[in-house]
Amino acid sequence: MNCNTPIAEIVSTGRFLPPEITTNADLESMVDTSDDWIRGRTGIKERRIAGEGLSTAQMGAAASLDAMDKAGIGPTDIDLIILSTATPDRLLPSTACDIQAIIGATNSVAFDIGGACSGFLYGLSMAEGYLATGRAKNILVVASEKMSSIVDWTDRSTCVLFGDGAGACVVQRSKEKKGIVGTHHGSDGTLAELLYRPAGGTLIPLDSKSMEAGDHLVKMSGREVFKNAVRSMVEASEKALADAGLSNDDVDLLIPHQANIRIIESTARYAGIPMDKVFVNVDRYGNMSSATIPVAMDEASEMGILKTGMNVLTVAFGAGFAWGAVAMRW
Ligand code: UT7
C-alpha cells in the first residue's frame, strides 16, 4: 500500500514511568554482573521498576490520560482502545478493558493485542484501518509493560535488560497531510523459541512443576535475537520508506525500539541514517518492550526534537519473531 495521502495521524502522545529507579549498581548486588558489562554491551544505565501496587493497566491509564489531556479530549470521546502488552494484569479479561474502566471511556471498544516489542506499531496500523473504514474517530493506542513481573531475577543474561513503563497516543483521521505515510510489518513464528515464556498458557500450564523450573519467565537466546533484530529492522525500515515514497536521506528522525544501543547503532548504520538523527533513551529506561516507542515519541516531542513537518521513521523487533516499521509525516 502506498498511502502518501495519510489516513491516520497521531495528534498527541503521553507517557508514564514508575518513579522507582534500579541502577546497574543495584543489579550488581543481585546477580553476577557489572555496571561496565551492562553499559558496554547494552548502553543501559538504569531502568524503572513498577512496585507491587502498580499494574500494567494503571500505568497504561496514566499514559492515556496524559495523551488525552494534550489532545484536549475527554474519556467519553474515545471510541477505541487498543492496548499492546506482553504483561497483561490477568489473562482474562483483556487489560485494555481495565484501562477503559479506570479512565471512564464508557463509549469505547477495548481489546489487547499481542505483538510483543512490535505491538505498538501493530496497534498503529490497526488504528489506521479503523479510521479508514470510518468505524472509529478517537483512538487510544496504548503500550504498557510491567516487564519486571516476567523477568527471571536470577538470570543475568536477561534481568539487566528490561524495565517498566507505558506510552500512549491519540490517533485521529489525518488533517493537513500529516500522519502515517508508509508501513511494513513481518512475522516469523518458526523462531518463537529464541525469545519466549514457555509456561503459563495451554501448552505448559502454570503448575508447581513449571513454576519451580522458572518456565513462566522470559527465556532469550540473546545473540540470535540480536542478529535477527538488526536484519529485520533494517529491512522493515527500507520497506516502510519505499511504501512512503521516501529514501533514507529523507528521514529527519528515527525512533527505534530501545532494546540495546548496539542494535540501534547497527540498524541506523545499515539503514543509512546517521546517529544524530536517532532518538535514544535506552540508557535511562532499558527495554520496556512495546512501550519504548511511544515513550520515546513523547519525550522527543517534549524536548523539541520531534517537530511538526518532520519525516519520522519508527521501527521495532521482538518476540514472535514480529517486527515492523511505520513512517510518518509529523
Ligand atoms: O526487544 C527485543 C528483544 N531483545 C533484544 O533485542 C536483545 C537482543 N540481544 C542483546 O541485546 C544481546 O545479545 C545481549 C545484551 C543480551 C547479550 O550481549 P552479547 O554481546 O550478545 O553477549 P553474549 O550473550 O554473547 O554473552 C557474552 C558473555 C557470556 O560469557 P562467556 O560465555 O563469553 O564467558 C555471558 O555469560 O557475557 C556473559 N554475560 C554477562 N556478563 C556479565 C551475559 N550477561 C551478562 C551480564 N553480566 N549481565
Q: How many secondary structure helices (H) and strands (E) does the chain include?
A: 11, 13
Distance 49 CA to ligand 1 centre (A): 21
From atom 10 of ligand 1, which residue's Cα is the shortest distance away? 222
pLDDT, one tens digit per residue, over 225-253 is 999 999 999 999 999 999 999 999 999 99
From atom 23 of ligand 1, which residue's Cα is the shortest distance away? 223
pLDDT, one tens digit per residue, over 81-110 is 999 999 999 999 999 999 999 999 999 999
Q: Is 221 in the pocket of ligand 1 (CB under 6 A)?
A: no
Q: Is 96 in the pocket of ligand 1 (CB under 6 A)?
A: no
Considering the entire predicted model, what is its pTM? 0.97
Q: Which atom of ligand 1 is nearest to the CA of 42?
A: 15
Query: Which residues are 144's β-sheet partners?
Result: 166
Q: pLDDT tens string for the chain (330 positions)?
A: 444 789 999 999 999 999 999 999 999 999 999 999 999 999 999 999 999 999 999 999 999 999 999 999 999 999 999 999 999 999 999 999 999 999 999 999 999 999 999 999 999 999 999 999 999 999 999 999 999 999 999 999 999 999 999 999 999 999 989 999 999 999 999 999 999 999 999 999 999 999 999 999 999 999 999 999 999 999 999 999 999 999 999 999 999 999 999 999 999 999 999 999 999 999 999 999 999 999 999 999 999 999 999 999 999 999 999 999 999 999
Sheet of 139-146: strand order equals 8-16, 164-173, 139-146, 80-84, 109-113
From atom 4 of ligand 1, which residue's Cα is the shortest distance away? 259
Q: Is 33 in the pocket of ligand 1 (CB under 6 A)?
A: yes
Q: Is 86 in the pocket of ligand 1 (CB under 6 A)?
A: no
The CA distance from 127 to 149, in Å, is: 28
Residues 6+ apart with CB under 8 A from 291: 120, 143, 144, 145, 165, 166, 167
Let me know how long the chain is. 330
